Amino acid sequence: MVSVCLYFHVHQPHRLRNYHVLDIGEDNDYFDTEENKRILQRVTEKCYLPMNNLLLDLIENHPDRFNVSFSISGTAIEQMEAHAPKALQSFQDLAATGNVEFVNETYHHSLAYLNSKDEFDKQVQKHREALNEYFNYEPTTFRNTELIFNNELAEYVENKGYTALLGEGADHLLGWRDPNHIYSTPITDDIDIFLRNYELSDDIAFRFSNESWEHHPLGADTFAEWIDAINGAGEIVNLFMDYETFGEHQWASTGIFDFFEAMVNDVLDNRDNDFLTIEQASDRYPQRGEVDAHHYTSWADARRDLGAWQGNELQRQAHDELYKLEEFVKESDDNDLIEAWRRLTTSDHVYYMYTDGRSDGDVHDHFSPYDSPYKSYMFYMNALNDVARRLGTTSQQRPLSETPSTLLNDIPEEEERMHS
Amino acid sequence: MNILMLGWEFPPFFAGGAGMVCKELTRALNDLGVNVTFVMPKGPKDVYQRVNEQTPDSFEIRIADSHRKTTFVPIQSLLGAYDSQQKYSERYDEVEGADNAEDTLYGGNLEEEMYRFANVVTSMFHDEDFDVIHAHDWVTHPAAKQLKEVTGKPLITHVHITEHDKSGGLGVDPFIESIEKEGVDASDRVITVSHRLKERLIESYDQPANKIDVVHNAPLPMDKGEGAKTFFHDLDQKIVLFAGRVTLQKGPEFFVDAAAEALQHDESLLFVVAGDGDMLGDVMEKAAEHGISKHFLFTGFYTREEANALFSMADVFVMPSVSEPFGIVPYEAQTMGTPTIVSKQSGISEVLNHTFLVDFWDTRRMAEYMLSLAHYETMNDVMATNGQQEVEERTWHGPADECKTIYEELKSQW
Secondary structure (DSSP) of B111-151: HHHHHHHHHHHHHHHTTS--SEEEEETGGGHHHHHHHHHHH
The pLDDT of residue A379: 96
How far apart, in whole angstroms, are the C-alpha atoms of residue B18 and residue B136? 9
How far apart, in whole angstroms, are the C-alpha atoms of residue A358 and residue A303? 12
Of A314, A377, A402, the CB nearest to B375: A402
**For residue A307, with 0-12 CB atoms within 10 Å meaning exposed, 13-18 middle and 19 or more buried, which class applies?**
middle
B386/A402 Cβ within 8 A = no
What total number of domains does chain A contain? Answer: 2
Is A132 in the same domain as A236? yes
* Residue A372 contacts B, CB cutoff 8 Å: yes
Closest chain A residue to B372, measured at CA: A378
Question: Which among A369, A405, A412 is positioned nearest to A388, based on CA atoms?
Answer: A405
The pLDDT of residue B8: 79
Closest chain B residue to A381, measured at CA: B376
B265/A21 Cβ within 8 A = yes
Tell me which amino acid residue B363 is.
T
- Within a domain: A141: yes
Of A20, A22, A317, the CB nearest to B378: A317
Of A21, A355, A377, the CB nearest to B371: A21
Is A335 in the same domain as A283? no
Q: Which of A21, A315, A352, A382 to mutate to test the interface with B (most CBs of B within 10 A)?
A: A21
Is A328 in the same domain as A224? no
Query: Which of A290, A321, A350 is the last residue in one of the domains?
Result: A290
- Within a domain: A144: yes
* Chain segment A310-358, per-residue pLDDT in tens: 989 999 999 999 999 999 999 999 999 999 999 999 999 999 998 876 4
Q: Provide the shortest C-alpha distance from residue A359 to chain B (in Å).
A: 15
Of A22, A375, A400, the CB nearest to B375: A400
Is A66 in the same domain as A190? yes
Of A372, A382, A402, the CB nearest to B378: A402
Closest chain B residue to A403, measured at CA: B376
How far apart, in whole angstroms, are the C-alpha atoms of residue B168 and residue B322? 8
Assign residue B288 a region (left: φ > 0; alpha: ψ between -120 and 50; beta: otherwise): alpha
Strands B61-62, B70-76: pairing is antiparallel
Phi and psi, residue A96, nearest 5°: -70, -20
The pLDDT of residue A60: 97
How far apart, in whole angstroms, are the C-alpha atoms of residue B255 and residue A26? 25
**Residues on chain A touching B381 (C-beta within 8 angstroms):** 313
Are A372 and A355 a contacting pair, CB within 8 Å?
A: no
B376/A21 Cβ within 8 A = no
The pLDDT of residue B221: 84
Neighbours of A304 (CB within 10 A): 24
A372/B379 Cβ within 8 A = no
Strands (E), B107-254: 132-136, 155-159, 189-192, 212-214, 239-243
How far apart, in whole angstroms, are the C-alpha atoms of residue A202 and residue A211? 15
Write out the H or E segment, with its range, that includes residue A287. strand A287-290
Q: What is the pLDDT along chain B (414 residues), one digit of tens a residue?
A: 999 999 877 776 655 677 888 889 998 999 999 999 888 887 765 344 333 333 433 333 444 444 557 777 777 777 776 677 788 888 777 776 555 545 456 777 888 888 888 998 898 898 888 999 999 988 889 999 999 999 999 999 999 999 888 776 677 889 989 999 999 999 999 999 999 999 999 999 999 999 999 999 999 888 776 554 555 556 678 999 999 989 988 999 999 999 999 999 999 999 999 999 999 999 999 999 999 999 999 998 888 778 888 898 899 999 999 999 999 999 999 999 999 999 999 999 999 999 999 999 999 999 999 999 999 999 999 999 999 999 999 999 999 999 999 999 999 988
Q: Provide the shortest C-alpha distance from residue B216 to chain A (in Å).
A: 19
- Spell out a b/e string for B283-320, using b for 16 or more CB atoms within 10 Å of the CB, else e: bbebbeebebeebbebbeeeeeebbbbbbbbbbbbbbb
Q: Which pTM does this prediction carry?
A: 0.88
**For residue A299, with 0-12 CB atoms within 10 Å meaning exposed, 13-18 middle and 19 or more buried, which class applies?**
buried
Is A172 in the same domain as A251? yes
Map A141-156 to HEC letters.
EECCHHHCECHHHHHH
* Residue A377 contacts B, CB cutoff 8 Å: yes
Of B353, B368, B382, the CB nearest to A312: B382
Write out the H or E segment, with its range, that includes residue A7. strand A3-10
How far apart, in whole angstroms, are the C-alpha atoms of residue A118 and residue A109? 15
B382/A401 Cβ within 8 A = no
Instruction: List B72's β-bridge partners, or say none.
Output: B38, B61
> Which residues constitute the domain of residue A244?
2-290
What 3-state class would DSSP assign to B76?
A: strand
- Within a domain: A45: yes
Is A76 in the same domain as A23? yes
* Chain segment A352-375, per-residue pLDDT in tens: 998 876 445 555 655 667 788 999
* A327 catalytic per annotation: no
- Within a domain: A299: no
Of A146, A168, A244, A321, catalytic: A146
* Residue A355 contacts B, CB cutoff 8 Å: yes
Give the CA angle between residues B286, B292, B293 to the nearest 5°: 75
Closest chain B residue to A25, measured at CA: B265
**Residues on chain A touching B376 (C-beta within 8 angstroms):** 377-378, 381, 402
Closest chain A residue to B384, measured at CA: A374
Neighbours of A75 (CB within 10 A): 23
Is A341 in the same domain as A384? yes
- Within a domain: A368: yes
The pLDDT of residue B104: 53
How far apart, in whole angstroms, are the C-alpha atoms of residue B164 and residue A338? 56
Task: Write the CB contacts of A24 (distance below 8 Å, at least 6 apart in sequence).
Answer: A382, A385, A386, A389, A398, A399, A400
A374/B383 Cβ within 8 A = yes
Residues of chain B contacting A, Cβ within 8 Å:
261, 265-266, 353-354, 356-357, 364, 367-368, 371-372, 375-379, 381-383, 386, 390
Torsion, CA B166, CA B168, CA B169, CA B172, rounded to 10? -30
Q: What is the mean pLDDT of chain A?
A: 93
Q: Which of B238, B350, B376, B391 to mutate to test the interface with A (most CBs of A within 10 A)?
A: B376
Write out the H or E segment, with its range, that includes residue A211. none
Size of interface A-B (CB pairs under 8 A): 56
Is A161 in the same domain as A286? yes
- Within a domain: A297: no
* Residue A20 contacts B, CB cutoff 8 Å: yes
Is A285 in the same domain as A255? yes
Give the CA angle between residues A288, A291, A292 to the nearest 5°: 150
B353/A20 Cβ within 8 A = no
- Within a domain: A375: yes
Tell me which amino acid residue A19 is.
Y
Q: Provide the shortest C-alpha distance from residue A21 to chain B (in Å).
A: 6
ipTM here: 0.85
A355/B382 Cβ within 8 A = yes
| HSE-up of residue B66 (Cα within 13 Å, Cβ side) | 0
How far apart, in whole angstroms, are the C-alpha atoms of residue A11 and residue A243? 8
* Residue A398 contacts B, CB cutoff 8 Å: yes
**Residues on chain B touching A400 (C-beta within 8 angstroms):** 265-266, 371-372, 375
Question: Which among A260, A249, A254, A292 is positioned nearest to A9, based on CA atoms?
Answer: A249
Are A338 and A28 a contacting pair, CB within 8 Å?
A: no
How far apart, in whole angstroms, are the C-alpha atoms of residue A76 and residue A81? 9
A20/B383 Cβ within 8 A = no
What 3-state class would DSSP assign to A207?
A: coil
**Residues on chain A touching B364 (C-beta within 8 angstroms):** 20, 22
Write out the H or E segment, with its range, that includes residue A420. none
The pLDDT of residue A420: 43
- Residues of chain A scoring pLDDT < 50: 358-359, 411-420
The pLDDT of residue B70: 75
Phi and psi, residue B79, nearest 5°: -65, 140
Q: Provide the shortest C-alpha distance from residue B287 to chain A (in Å).
A: 21
Are A285 and A182 a contacting pair, CB within 8 Å?
A: yes
Residue A139: asked if its preceding bond is cis (omega within 30°), the reply is no
Of B375, B379, B386, the CB nearest to A377: B379
How far apart, in whole angstroms, are the C-alpha atoms of residue B264 and residue B269? 10
Is A404 in the same domain as A332? yes
B265/A400 Cβ within 8 A = yes
* Chain segment A244-303, per-residue pLDDT in tens: 999 999 999 999 999 999 999 999 999 999 999 999 999 999 999 999 999 999 998 878
Q: Provide the shortest C-alpha distance from residue A358 to chain B (in Å).
A: 12
Is A314 in the same domain as A286? no
Is A354 in the same domain as A383? yes
Residue A217: asked if its preceding bond is cis (omega within 30°), the reply is yes
**Residues on chain A touching B372 (C-beta within 8 angstroms):** 21, 378, 381-382, 400
Assign residue A276 a region (left: φ > 0; alpha: ψ between -120 and 50; beta: otherwise): beta
- Concatenated DSSP letters for A241-271? EEGGGBTTTB-GGGTHHHHHHHHHHHHHHST
How far apart, in whole angstroms, are the C-alpha atoms of residue B182 and residue A136? 77
Question: Which among A203, A275, A268, A197 is positioned nearest to A238, based on CA atoms?
Answer: A197
Neighbours of A258 (CB within 10 A): 12
Phi and psi, residue A78, nearest 5°: -70, -30
Q: Which of B379, B386, B392 to mutate to test the interface with A (most CBs of A within 10 A)?
A: B379
Query: Which of A290, A323, A340 is the last residue in one of the domains?
Result: A290
* Chain segment B209-236, per-residue pLDDT in tens: 999 999 999 998 887 765 545 555 566 7
CATH number at residue A72: 3.20.110.20
Of A20, A355, A378, the CB nearest to B376: A378
Question: Which among B113, B147, B143 is positioned nearest to B127, based on CA atoms?
Answer: B147
Question: Which among B103, B97, B79 is positioned nearest to B14, based on CA atoms?
Answer: B79
Are B383 and A374 a contacting pair, CB within 8 Å?
A: yes
| HSE-up of residue B91 (Cα within 13 Å, Cβ side) | 25
- Within a domain: A114: yes
How far apart, in whole angstroms, are the C-alpha atoms of residue B320 and residue B366? 9
